[in-house]
Amino acid sequence: MIYPHHDRRPVPELAPEIERLTRLVADLERIRSGHHPDEAELVGAPMLEHWSPAEHRTIALVGTVDGHPTIPNGRQVCTSDLWMIAPELSYARTLNRFYRLGARHHLSDRWNYR
């Protein structure tokens, strides 16, 4: 889910996503410590038959990066999943980190991210 935002007002629409991600982090922390779900916990989970891994498309940002902790300056990059974008406030939040937004590419107008 992407939340375009244009000013400094609170963003209550983020509450359901925060709750969902908080549950995910709690489950991953449990699994990391060796507490995997047991039969009793999985009994209510949906069954997925004939499954296989699939690539899932999402929206991200692309551009030339400067000041990234692991990518050299001047490289073209594609960010992780875009979660929040506030062009008027010059920032975006991806799954992994905040980005400062500089000059916008002219084709980005088609996304209506003013």
pLDDT attached to residue 6: 87
Q: Does the residue 14 lie in any domain?
A: no
Q: Does the residue 97 lie in any domain?
A: yes
Question: Measuring CA to CA, which residue among 53, 52, 77 is closest to residue 65?
Answer: 77
Tell me the residue range of the domain where 85 lies.
1-6+60-105
Rounded to two decimals, the pTM is 0.70
Summarize the confidence of residues 91-111 as an average pLDDT.
82
Q: Does the residue 83 lie in any domain?
A: yes
pLDDT tens readout for residues 86-98: 988 899 999 889 9
Q: Does the residue 84 lie in any domain?
A: yes
